Amino acid sequence: MNSITARRRHPLARYAVLLLALSLLGGVYALLAPGGDRADAAIASGKADDVAAGKDLFAAHCASCHGLNAEGTYSSGGASGPSLIGVGAAAVDFQVSSGRMPFANPAPQAPRKRPPEWVNPTTVRQLAAYVQSLGGGPTKPSLEEVDPAKGDPAKGGELFRANCIQCHNFVGSGGGLTYGKYAPDLNPATPTQIYEAMATGPQAMPVFNDSTITPEQKRDMIAYIVTMREQTDPGGNGLGRIGPVTEGLVAWIAGIGLLILAAIWITAKKRQVTHD
Amino acid sequence: MSLDAPPKAIAGPSSFIDDRIGAGNFLKRNLRKVFPDHWSFLLGEIALYSFVILLLTGTFLTFFYKPGMGEVAYQGSYPPLVGVHMSEAYASTLHITFDVRGGLLIRQIHHWAALLFVAGMMVHMLRVFFTGAYRKPRELNWLIGVLLLTLALLEGLTGYSLPDDLLSGAGLRITQGVAISIPVVGTYISFFLFGGEYPGHDVISRFYSLHILLIPGILLALISAHLILMWVQKHTQMPGKGRTDTNVVGAPFYPSFMAKSGAYFLFTFGVLALLGTVAQINPIWLFGPYTPADISAGSQPDFYMGFLEGALRIMPAWEINFLGYTLPLSVLIPALVPMGIIMTGLALYPFAEQWITGDKREHHLADRPRNNPHRTSIGMAAITFYGVLWLLGANDWISAKFHIPLYTTTEIGRVAIFLGPALAYFVTYRLCIALQRRDADVVSHGVESGVIKRLPSGEYIEVHVPPAEDLVEHMRGKQPIPAITAGPDGEGIPSNGMRSPIGRVRAKLSQTYAADTEAISLDGHGNGHGAHETPPAAVGAGEDGQKSIGH
């Protein structure tokens, strides 16, 4: 007979058991149940403090076009930008880390450029946390999700040819689109940025969400793109890897050019000049 | 034993051969054949030697290539494609590229040689055109040349399709689109060519037969005919001292021309080997295997098909729907019209020029381009027409690399295709006249010596010295362009042929074609300042029996 057996008839025992059960339930719930939006954003994109810091960065660098609450602005001829509610942390990370945002000059499409001084991994994370807190959206992938070494380049190549090369060319050298837009060169893009671009569909690009192309398939495609960019061209200089256009230029300028020089050389005669 | 006699080791076999095939007489006559010397006369040899190299490298490629469209899973040594399903043709091309020793090099030399083959033909043709070397008696050889160029395009198209990669598949798809757009017979042609629905299982093996057997056979026969005719008719020569329509001034075939020609083969081979080594061409492993559902940005044909691609790209989307049938003008016009204008124009030009000038004489002296300004301007207009189309074939890259909106390039192309040739015609014409005046100036006043003299009156003059004799002879080689007249003869009666409306148009064309050339005289003291009053040179209706061209 121990002490618990002795006290189980105690008048307060039922309250003690109830308390124990409730705290157990609460504890399990707290461990298993999904957290709130705010908490989720803080977990996914950094710390909860990031949201406040991100809001300040947003007000300083983004709000002039996207509005003070990221609701978007429109003014014909002036600075305007779309609403960022729901675009997600992935979109922010893609746009800001690749230097496309902040947008320096109005143009049909934001070019990749060197990011401004204030951009670093911390500020990008804070900004992303703030935008994520507004309405959710795709989050930044983990390093494992974009690790080219874990993907299958052969499978990725088939997906890449089926989905990407219409605009980005067969090795991702980019290509022209209508109305001043273009599909950018994929070579400078990091694996994370490639993943984010597929998940968020920036600018003229369509969204390839997880039900269209699964995260594993995205990783295969990243593996293919990275394999192609790291490949040493076996046939000599790749001539920009853009197909027959540069080949034609080389054939005419180098090929015909050299042969004309050779023809001039072997038919050259010493000029017989008579001096009187 | 005399020192002149050939050594026994040589004399024995040579008389053995000579007694049996009589080659000695032939060689005696032909080894001393004289060839004129000018760098531009070697341009055709680029094409000739490229063709030789194409035959040799192509033979090597046939040892390993499998012209099949059966599906296989790739198991070769190129990792990014391992396990990918593809046609046997594509797999065997990958095998040549990565697993056959020297295969990639030979493939690249073959492809570069194909580009230089066509490019060499083009520069050679331009030389012949601008110097008027297609004139009588060489019209037939010119026609053979036009046929060779057409066949070369066809040979290139079939060869481009053989690896069955994604890029060549795009070209094949356009070929099928053109075939099927032809009214009435289009579907039949397409089904016949592809053995059923596109892409089917036959087209690669059919193109293979065409590419390695039929077209090269015809090319070889025509090239031989081209060379024999050139040999028999003798080469044209540039005007100069002692050069007339009845002689050829130059070096004998053996040893001088043979050495140069042999050296030029080595140069061509050297350039092709250099390109094949340092510059990657047609990287089919990057394109991936062909599946009709995929297409890459920047899908272009090889350069010689670029003008057709450009025509397709700038063509508005026109089509006619009539009684349930569709006439797709947006495919038919770009596929047939530019090709028709250029090839028909080339084929007919020698005969059109003869008809317009009434000139039925033989010509063995080449014209300098400036001395026939209308011909030169027509040529430059044609180059501009071709060039605009060619450039627009790459308009997506122009748009992407130079940040010009794509539709802007299309719209510029649509204007430039009409305006460009007209502008080129005008500018070239003025340049030719200016160059003729410059010649006249040199002939009549000599060249500047750089010596300034002060006259007793205080005036400064620059001393001119007579130009080098060979230069003057070269300039004086200019020949007036003959023209027919619509006017009455001595009895006041216009000739029969000139009275019809066509005759009057012909006379008008003839006058225009010959204008502005005789006016700039090179006789050294005439009106060397380009007065335009003098009428064109020769007179005569140009009818049969009235070939009274001269002065």
pLDDT digits (tens, 9 = 90+) for B41-70: 999 999 999 999 999 999 999 999 999 999
* Average confidence score pLDDT of chain B: 88
What value does the mean pLDDT take over residues B208-213? 96
The answer to whether the Cβ–Cβ distance between A263 and B43 falls below 8 Å is: yes
Mutate to test the interface with A, among B75, B98, B111, B286 (most CBs of A within 10 A): B286
Q: Return the SS3 of A175.
A: strand
Q: Tell me: pLDDT of A118 over 80.
A: yes
CB contacts of A178 in chain B (<8 Å) are 405-407
The answer to whether the Cβ–Cβ distance between A176 and B397 falls below 8 Å is: yes
What value does the mean pLDDT take over residues B82-89? 94
CB contacts of A273 in chain B (<8 Å) are 468
Instruction: Write down the pLDDT at residue B7.
Output: 82
CA B548 to chain centre: 33
What value does the mean pLDDT take over residues B338-366? 93
What value does the mean pLDDT take over residues B425-442? 93
pLDDT digits (tens, 9 = 90+) for A153-168: 999 999 999 999 999 9
B42 touches chain A (CB under 8 A): yes
Task: Please say whether the beta carbons of A165 and A113 come within 8 A.
Answer: no
What value does the mean pLDDT take over residues B253-277? 93
CB contacts of A183 in chain B (<8 Å) are 297, 400
Give this prediction's pTM: 0.86
β strands within B255-379, DSSP E: 320-322, 325-327
pLDDT digits (tens, 9 = 90+) for B529-538: 443 444 444 3
Q: ipTM value of the model?
A: 0.89
Spatial CA neighbour of B280 closest among A246, A228, A186: A246
What value does the mean pLDDT take over residues B295-303? 91
Task: Please say whether the beta carbons of B171 and B238 come within 8 A.
Answer: no
What are the counts of helices (DSSP H) followed by strands (DSSP E) for chain A?
A: 13, 2
B120 touches chain A (CB under 8 A): yes
% residues pLDDT > 70 (chain B):
91
pLDDT band per the 50, 70, 90 thresholds, residue B315: very high
Instruction: Write down the pLDDT at residue B537.
Output: 40
Q: Tell me: pLDDT of B501 over 90.
A: no
The answer to whether the Cβ–Cβ distance between B38 and A178 falls below 8 Å is: no
Q: Tell me: pLDDT of A44 over 60.
A: no
Mutate to test the interface with B, among A185, A267, A272 (most CBs of B within 10 A): A267
pLDDT band per the 50, 70, 90 thresholds, residue B545: very low
Residues recorded for chain B: 551
Q: Tell me: pLDDT of B544 over 80.
A: no
pLDDT band per the 50, 70, 90 thresholds, residue A78: low
β strands within B225-290, DSSP E: 251-252
Instruction: Write down the pLDDT at residue B284.
Output: 94
What is the phi/psi pair of residue B87, to 5°?
-80, 160
pLDDT band per the 50, 70, 90 thresholds, residue A77: low
Residues 47-106 of chain B with CB under 8 A from chain A are: 79-84, 97-98, 104
Which has the minimum average pLDDT: B12-16, B345-349, B365-369, B524-528?
B524-528
Q: Could you tell me which residue, B546 or A50, shows the higher pLDDT?
A: A50
Shortest CB distance from B281 goes to which of A167, A174, A247?
A: A247
B402 touches chain A (CB under 8 A): no
CB contacts of A242 in chain B (<8 Å) are 298, 397
Q: Tell me: pLDDT of B262 over 90.
A: yes
Two structure tokens written together for B383: 């180059």
B43's enclosing H/E stretch is helix B43-62
Q: Tell me: pLDDT of B153 over 70.
A: yes
Which residue in chain B is spatially nearest to A224 when comparing CA positions? B80
DSSP B315: S
Instruction: Write down the pLDDT at residue A272.
Output: 61
Q: Tell me: pLDDT of B493 over 90.
A: no
Question: Rounded CA gap, B516 and B537, in Å?
Answer: 10
The answer to whether the Cβ–Cβ distance between B303 and A252 falls below 8 Å is: yes
Q: Return the SS3 of B522.
A: coil
